[in-house]
Amino acid sequence: MQSGDDEREDAGGSCLQETSFNAGVASGELHLRIGGDASGCNSEWATSVELDLAVLPSHAVTSATLVVRKTGYSDDSQGFAYIGAFVYAATGSVTTVERADLTPDTALSIVYPPAANVDLDFDVTSAIQALLGDGETLAGLLLAGVYSEVGYEDWISVGGKGYVSPPRLIVAFERTIATESTPWSQVKHLYR
């Protein structure tokens, strides 16, 4: 697993914001940012997480949840932005993801973070199933504000790879369990 964040910032000194995020950034930081800051020139952060799917069994995945720990937030009166989980083509190195492609319709899951520092759960089942079905061995998930205009100091921080609770993928899957027949008399004997 690798994780990191990237800032879409002023691209030339004239307050023209970059059009894409850099995903697949490897960082050992404790805290990663998601959201925005429109004080002066707009800035916006997204956090990417790349996960090794090769460690998963080849059985049918029934659910997959990306869990990140919220570790802090801006105390601005406007509150927090809705955060979406988006899938991107992971390469194991830095790749760009266009901000215009990150809409409520393309989000796998959307979460409104509470004020408390708790785990945030994003349902990414459909993406993990599709990636495994295509034989992919790497999953790229990007966490970003769902709407392109994210308001003044509308951001939170989440635990990175170096944090005590780093991002993690929780997967449930089906598998066949070998069975053998047992006569009723032997079953009754176990409970006497």
> pLDDT per residue over 20-29, tens digit each?
899 998 888 8
Coil, strand or helix: which one is 30?
coil
- Angle made by CA atoms 28, 93, 49, in degrees to the nearest 5: 50
CATH class belonging to 2-190:
mainly beta
Total-model pTM: 0.84
Task: State yes or no: pLDDT of 79 exceeds 70.
Answer: no
pLDDT number for residue 155: 80
Compute the distance between CA of residue 167 and CA of residue 48 in angstroms, rounded to an integer.
10
Coil, strand or helix: which one is 53?
helix
Query: What pLDDT digit, counting tens, does each position of 6-64 carry?
Result: 888 766 666 677 888 999 988 888 999 888 765 556 678 899 999 999 888 767 889 99
Contacts 24+ apart (CB under 8 A), 174-181: 174/59, 174/60, 174/62, 175/57, 175/59
Task: State yes or no: pLDDT of 148 exceeds 70.
Answer: no
Domain boundaries, the chain: 2-190
Task: State yes or no: pLDDT of 118 exceeds 50.
Answer: yes
Task: State yes or no: pLDDT of 77 exceeds 50.
Answer: no
pLDDT number for residue 40: 55
Task: State yes or no: pLDDT of 186 exceeds 80.
Answer: no
Of 8, 17, 67, 16, nearest in space to 35 by CA: 8
- List Cα–Cα distances, 176 to 60, 71, 129, in angstroms: 10, 39, 18
